[in-house]
Amino acid sequence: MVMRKLPHVTLMFWVLKIVATTLGETGGDLLAQTLHVGYLVATGIFLALFVVAVVFQLKARRFHPALFWTVIALTSTAGTTLSDYMNRTAGIGYTGGAIILSTGLAIVFVIWWRSGQTLDVENVATFRGELLFWVAILISNSLGTSSGDFLADSLGLGFRDSALILSAIMLLLLAGHFFTRINAMVLFWVAFVLTRPLGATVGDFLSKPRDHGGLAWGTMWTSATLLAVLIALITVQAVHVRRHPLTALPVPVRTGEPQQPNGALLLQDA
């Protein structure tokens, strides 16, 4: 048996994911735009922080809410600035950026599927599986910024209407989970990818000026508010995990050969 490294997919998981990705949008814009660091330098800073954080996550022996959600937030901030650099500075455009990142994400999922690792996040119990998970998260969170901007700007829907449309799609996916036989992993990953453009459009709606269709909270105040909410939710989850530890998982095998586990090994009673 191996200790879980990834959380159970519950309502708290989705709330934390949306808050973290929304913070990623406003936090990325805060550094790149408000503080005038620029997209390229900001991307380098956030990617460096992501690499440091994800190394600690990969080396951890069990699930640590603060560490896990820090990595998620950093994939969102890095994804925001990377996507904006591609789309704006490099001149690829929102549509081109969305196509490139969608193709990259599809390639990662094909590699993941061909590797024999489970795509069921709750049952990932190997180092290779977790590594593929984080690569997919980084690309999907970059894609989310491009797709959110594509909806809001290229299609002219605006931040508020784009957020409402994405929220409606999320509700349809929830209904599909409870009332249809659609594969649960497919529904999860579609919802997981869509939370990023949802966070991007909500973040832009809160922070952008009124003449751009936003509420004009500004990137600094919006980021500070979201950070406070995220810390509070992580604290709640950490207390819950301490009182009710996540159940361990059997170490998966492929072709009869054991794979390197990603969590602390536990002895199983006979």
Q: Identify which has the larger pLDDT, 260 or 131.
A: 131
DSSP label of 265: B
Integer Cα distance of 236 and 223 in angstroms:
20
Q: What is the mean pLDDT of the chain?
A: 88
pLDDT of residue 199: 82
Query: Is residue 166's pLDDT more than 80?
Result: yes
Contact 212, 162 (CB under 8 A): no
Q: How confident is the model at residue 8 (pLDDT cuts 50, 70, 90)?
A: very high
Region 143-166: mean pLDDT is 81
Query: Is residue 258's pLDDT more than 60?
Result: yes
pLDDT of residue 57: 96
Model confidence pLDDT, tens digit, residues 11-57: 999 999 999 999 988 998 899 989 999 999 999 999 999 999 999 99
**Among 248, 152, 270, 256, which Cα is nearest to 205's?**
152
DSSP label of 257: E
* Range of weakest confidence among 124-138, 203-217, 243-257: 243-257
Alpha helix segments (H runs only) across 85-157? 93-114, 127-149
pLDDT of residue 256: 56
Query: Is residue 143's pLDDT more than 90?
Result: no
Q: Which residue has the tokens 């994911």?
A: 17
Q: What is the DSSP string of 16-56?
A: HHHHHHHHHHHHHHIIIIIT---HHHHHHHHHHHHHHHHHH
Contact 238, 12 (CB under 8 A): no
Q: By percentage, how much of the chain surpasses pLDDT 70?
A: 96
In angstroms and rounded to an integer, the radius of gyration of the C-alpha atoms of the chain is 19
Q: By percentage, how much of the chain surpasses pLDDT 90?
A: 45
Q: Is the dihedral of CA 209, 213, 217, 222 positive or negative?
A: negative
Model confidence pLDDT, tens digit, residues 208-231: 888 877 888 888 999 999 999 999
Cβ neighbours of residue 185 closer than 8 Å, sequence gap 6 or more: 119, 120
Q: How confident is the model at residue 270 (pLDDT cuts 50, 70, 90)?
A: very low
Integer Cα distance of 44 and 55 in angstroms:
17
Integer Cα distance of 246 and 63 in angstroms:
8
Contact 160, 214 (CB under 8 A): no
pLDDT of residue 268: 60
